[in-house]
């Protein structure tokens, strides 16, 4: 029989496991595909 306490513990551990997996995946994405800062800066307006 599954007790309410074990369901609670499994839920909490699942949440923390999900957060940890997302954190690791985001770090791997940041290493694999670094953002270049040149693309994110807006072009300077040309004045005559």
Residue with structure tokens 């609670």? Answer: 8
The confidence score (pLDDT) of residue 3 equals: 95
The pLDDT value recorded for residue 1 is: 66
In angstroms, the CA 38 to CA 17 distance is 36
Tokens 């307006």 correspond to what residue? Answer: 45
Give the model's pLDDT for residue 42: 67
As given in the structure block, the two tokens for residue 12 are 């909490």
Query: What is the predicted pLDDT for the residue at 15?
Result: 98
pLDDT in tens, 1-48: 679 999 999 999 999 999 999 999 999 998 988 776 655 566 677 776
3-state secondary structure at position 42: coil
């Amino acid at each position: 029989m599954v007790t309410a306490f074990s369901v609670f513990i499994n839920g909490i551990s699942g949440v923390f496991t999900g957060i940890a997996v997302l954190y690791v995946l985001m770090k791997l994405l940041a290493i694999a595909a670094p953002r270049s800062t040149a693309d994110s800066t807006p072009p300077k307006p040309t004045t005559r």
